[in-house]
Chain A
Amino acid sequence: MMYKQLVALVIILVISLCNNVFAQAGDDFSGVWTNNPPEENRGFQNSALRADPPPMTPWGQARYDQAKPTFGSRSVPVLETNDPVYECFRPGTPRIYMHPFPMEIIHSEGRVLMLFEYDHVVRQIYTDGREHRTDLAPMWMGDSAGHWEGKTLVVETVNFNDKTWIDREGVPHSDQLRVEERIHLDDEGNLLIDILIEDPIAFTESWTGQRRYRRVGWDIEEFSCMDNVNFVPFEEEVLNYEAN
Chain B
Amino acid sequence: MFRLTFNTAILASLLCFSIQATAHHGGAAYDGSLSKTVTGKVSKFHFINPHVLIYIEVEDESGGVVEWSGELTSPNRLARMERGSTTSWSKDILQTGDEITLSGNPARSGAPSLRLRKVIDSNGVVLVGGD
Contacts of A218 in B (CB 8 A): 80
Contacts of B65 in A (CB 8 A): none
B23 interfacial by beta-carbon distance below 8 Å: yes
For chains A and B in complex, what number of residue pairs have CB atoms within 8 angstroms?
A: 74
Interface residues on A, range: 20 to 34
B28 and A77 form a contact (CB under 8 A): yes
A239–B29 contact, CB under 8 A?
Answer: yes
Nearest CB of chain B from residue A212's CB, rounded to whole Å: 14
**Chain A residues with CB under 8 A of B76:** 101, 117, 221-223
Main secondary structure of the interface of A (DSSP, over half): loop
Q: Is the CB of B28 within 8 A of A238?
A: no
Q: How far is the CB of A54 from chain B (nearest CB, A)?
A: 20
B110 with A223: CB separation less than 8 A: no
Contact of B26 among A71, A117, A227, A241 (CB under 8 A): A71
Provide 14 A-B residue pairs closer than 8 Å at the C-beta atoms, listed in order of the A residue: A47-B26, A70-B25, A75-B26, A77-B25, A77-B28, A78-B29, A100-B20, A222-B76, A224-B49, A227-B50, A231-B50, A234-B53, A241-B111, A243-B110
Show the binding face of A for B, using Cβ within 8 Å. 42, 46-47, 69-72, 75-78, 81, 99-101, 117, 216, 218, 221-224, 227-228, 231, 234-235, 237-241, 243
